[in-house]
């Protein structure tokens, strides 16, 4: 599959992270440094997640995230990794489903390959993001079993 140009929904900061999220090692190194809380909000906006949904996925409070964003603070490595993996997943979903909004709709529906769990419910852990990414990859290759 050739990489399509990202949709206009990508902020300049997210566009700057495209190479990072395409390389597993670079992603981990960036996560260790931490990403700005603003990046988490940009990813949430891209995936049409509310601030509360974002906070739940990152196991924190909306107030904490907003305080970090106002203070231009970086997230902890685990939360940073999750944000970066969500960005990579959004890009993958956009390629497979044709647009981020179409991918977002799929995230809300029970998925057969994920034991009929809505993929969105699995995004609260790094491993869950990997499971969803694997399912998107199977869909891309026509393997629905």
Q: What is the pLDDT of residue 16?
A: 72
Q: Is 74 helix (H, G, I), strand (E, B) or coil?
A: strand
Choice between 70 and 144, residue whose per-residue pLDDT is larger: 70
Q: Is 82 helix (H, G, I), strand (E, B) or coil?
A: helix
> How is the chain split into domains, by residue range?
12-140
Share of the chain above pLDDT 90, in %: 77
CA distances from 48 to 26, 31, 114 (A): 26, 22, 21
pLDDT tens digits along 112-144? 899 999 999 999 999 999 999 999 999 999 876
What is the average pLDDT value for the chain, to the nearest integer? 89
CA distances from 57 to 9, 35, 42, 95, 104 (A): 21, 16, 14, 23, 15
pTM for this prediction: 0.88
Q: Residue 74 forms beta bridges with which residues?
A: 36
């Amino acid at each position: 599959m050739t990489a399509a140009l990202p949709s206009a929904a990508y902020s300049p900061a997210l566009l700057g992270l495209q190479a990072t999220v395409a390389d597993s090692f670079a992603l981990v190194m960036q996560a260790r440094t931490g990403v700005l809380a603003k990046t988490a909000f940009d990813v949430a906006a891209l995936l049409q997640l509310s601030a509360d949904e974002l906070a739940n996925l990152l196991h924190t409070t909306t107030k904490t995230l907003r305080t970090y964003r106002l203070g231009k603070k970086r997230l902890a490595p685990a939360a940073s990794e999750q944000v970066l993996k969500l960005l990579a997943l959004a890009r993958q979903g956009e390629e497979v489903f044709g647009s981020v909004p179409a991918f977002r709709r799929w995230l809300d529906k029970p998925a057969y390959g994920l034991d009929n769990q809505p993929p969105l419910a699995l995004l609260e852990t790094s491993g869950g993001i990997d499971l969803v990414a694997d399912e998107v990859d199977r869909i891309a290759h026509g393997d629905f079993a």
